[in-house]
Structure 1
């Protein structure tokens, strides 16, 4: 699994067809190949699953969050093997979405072998309009694999800012008016299950706290406006993440909903602007690390063990709850939150993001001084800025005072 890293975003280009990429179709179910290299539909996020017999590669679409899966359904005429499609991750272990990456001989590229022992392949070598993607058994007798089974892994260099919803496309007529004037069919009703995450990005995995609603059509803006009203926020004050199954990872929703074919109810996690979770929704590992007071003789949450991290430099900081302090943002540099996470016990590994270098600070010989004050009162009068909030202060020989800073 040395070509894929957890949380990495990649494109998979077919080696034989060269300019064609693995593509999540707009219906939310189909998988094909496409030359639209800059489309979000050809971006896939890596999810490494550690099974009892070793790690497996899971790939979920950056557009809809659903996972690449092999099926036992025979492919249509002119296609090879069996259908490949997108599906939810709704059980702890789903063999259909588990893949192994195998080096494809001496040349570039990898083979993606499903846990069911079939290989992902493109079609259309001679019929270029035949763009479906399927899974097929390799030629065991001749020990050969088709050139259409070879994929080039292209890591995606992400920008440093969090993804945002792009500006809307101005339609000439509103959808409801176009139904009346041109007799177009109204959009289908779609079921929505949603939950509002806490400030730390936490939410109940099961049914408690989830609400239901319906929308007509697939407009992302209509969905955002409706959910914003339900959580008493402005539309630009929330982020939406879609979850493809209970065990699926959250994916920021920045495109319209799938066109058709996805009969399941959409699961949306709403994150409020201004909260710690909003800076990088759904992209943190483990549990939140915070600052807190030392208000009891023994506080396990603030007690750490320093453990030597192998032969190299650095230490691991293990909390009393058997979790390790770690950074985030290995591939998303704007994702700068610090969390705590359990180590990979089965494989006896720790993430490199859990290793810390200790740098002693040379202190000055004189006591630290309070810096000169900044004249802030005048800015309140001249520029109309809001004064600072009231804060309570407790100190010896007095009960309490109040001051505004």
Structure 2
């Protein structure tokens, strides 16, 4: 899809093909986040076509706050790849960090920053097995374990998952802990509003 497809002043939504979530302008006017909700003013961005003597660029500003989608040189949070993007003001004649180019085939869009970095939905989290907290927990109650983690983390905004081995996928803990393995269990607490939480899959217990 070419830049010509993006008409100046039009509204667009940026949806990840991988995760199915939309890029939202966060309520603090600075951060951006991934969210499954499409029908939100925070998910809409306005096209601002910008031309200098060398090139035509795509700028995108939030319909919620009017601030521009900007690349940064700040590393993404622990467990994610690449660098952060955020909202910022367009406060100089030319702001390098908010200038994007459109590349890719006709059926989807790839946004590339002028530094050659690509805008990517950062939903893949790589767990560090050398970090975290080890503690002894007696019993098998899912709810008792959750209360233990609430006390230790100081937060209720997390989803408990289990990982059955170093390369296993995360599984939401929907039942009590198993009682017969005899091995250490690796429990991962994922923030309920994080991209990793959007990737979790739950069984349809009512399916025939």
Alpha-carbon distance, 1:17 to partner: 1.4
Match of 1:80 in 2: 81
Are residues 125 and 78 of structure 1, via their aligned partners in 2, closer, same or farther at CA, if it must alter by over 3 Å? closer
State how many pairs are aligned: 129
- What is the distance in 2 between the residues matched to 1:27 and 1:11? 19
- Give the TM-score taking structure 2 as reference length: 0.58
Match of 2:18 in 1: 16
- What is the distance in 2 between the residues matched to 1:59 and 1:83? 16
Residue 4 of structure 2 is aligned to residue 2 of structure 1: yes
Alpha-carbon distance, 1:36 to partner: 1.5
**Superposed CA offset, 1:205-227 (max 9, x none):** xxxxxxxxxxxxxxxxxxxxxxx
Match of 2:116 in 1: 117
Match of 2:52 in 1: 51
- What is the distance in 2 between the residues matched to 1:73 and 1:124? 17
- What is the distance in 2 between the residues matched to 1:114 and 1:28? 21
Alpha-carbon distance, 1:101 to partner: 0.7
Alpha-carbon distance, 1:55 to partner: 0.7
Output aligned runs, 1:192-207, within 5 Å. none
Output aligned runs, 1:357-376, within 5 Å. none
Contact map agreement 2:69 2:86 (CA 8 A) in 1: yes
Contact map agreement 1:71 1:85 (CA 8 A) in 2: yes
3-state SS of paired residue (2:70): strand
Q: Structure 2: any 5+ residue segments left out of the alignment? A: 126-189, 197-208
Q: Structure 1: any 5+ residue segments left out of the alignment? A: 133-405
Alpha-carbon distance, 1:86 to partner: 0.3
Specify which structure has the bigger relative contact order, considering alpha-carbon pairs within 8 angstroms and separated by 6 or more residues: 2
- What is the distance in 1 between the residues matched to 2:100 and 2:39? 25
Output aligned runs, 1:5-404, within 5 Å. 5-18=7-20, 20-103=21-104, 105=105, 108-125=107-124, 130-131=194-195
- Give the TM-score taking structure 1 as reference length: 0.31
- What is the distance in 2 between the residues matched to 1:11 and 1:89? 20
3-state SS of paired residue (1:13): coil
**Superposed CA offset, 1:257-293 (max 9, x none):** xxxxxxxxxxxxxxxxxxxxxxxxxxxxxxxxxxxxx
Alpha-carbon distance, 1:129 to partner: 5.0
Contact map agreement 1:29 1:85 (CA 8 A) in 2: yes
- What is the distance in 2 between the residues matched to 1:123 and 1:75? 9
Contact map agreement 1:70 1:96 (CA 8 A) in 2: yes
Alpha-carbon distance, 1:80 to partner: 0.8
3-state SS of paired residue (2:15): strand
- What is the distance in 1 between the residues matched to 2:55 and 2:13? 24
3-state SS of paired residue (2:13): strand
Alpha-carbon distance, 1:125 to partner: 4.3
**Superposed CA offset, 1:156-192 (max 9, x none):** xxxxxxxxxxxxxxxxxxxxxxxxxxxxxxxxxxxxx
RMSD: 1.9
Contact map agreement 1:123 1:130 (CA 8 A) in 2: no
Structure 1 outlier segments of 4+, above 4 Å: 125-129
Alpha-carbon distance, 1:56 to partner: 0.2
Contact map agreement 1:17 1:125 (CA 8 A) in 2: no
Alpha-carbon distance, 1:131 to partner: 2.5
3-state SS of paired residue (2:69): strand
Match of 2:173 in 1: none
- What is the distance in 2 between the residues matched to 1:28 and 1:65? 9
Contact map agreement 1:21 1:33 (CA 8 A) in 2: yes
